[in-house]
Amino acid sequence: MTLVVSGLSMLVVLTGCRSDVLPAVFGLGSGGVAAYAPGKLPVVMAHEGDRLIGQSGTEAGRCIYENAAGRRFRADCPADYRP
């Protein structure tokens, strides 16, 4: 039984593991590490055609919108918005 397990583990080693996790965990090669890039995130704003869903539960003065692609995002509520 141990011979079979050893053979399977050797087969995995010989064929090479294509995972990004193992190199990152064991410090082998490049584990999908990206360089740090300082900067600012863009300000998210609602545009014409975005649908207002409702007020954000976690940020005062912010609302949840849905764009044409169906993605939801948080942006400032319109000036005349009343929940």
Give pLDDT, residue 41: 87
Does residue 81 fall inside a structural domain? no
Give pLDDT, residue 5: 45
Residue 49, amino acid: G
Determine the 3-state secondary structure of 76 from DSSP.
Answer: strand
Determine the 3-state secondary structure of 54 from DSSP.
Answer: strand
Does residue 41 fall inside a structural domain? yes
The string of pLDDT tens digits covering residues 15-74 is 555 666 666 666 666 556 677 888 998 999 999 999 999 999 999 999 999 999 999 999
Determine the 3-state secondary structure of 32 from DSSP.
Answer: coil
Domain containing 7 equals 2-76
Number of domains in the chain: 1
Does residue 82 fall inside a structural domain? no
Does residue 72 fall inside a structural domain? yes
Does residue 19 fall inside a structural domain? yes
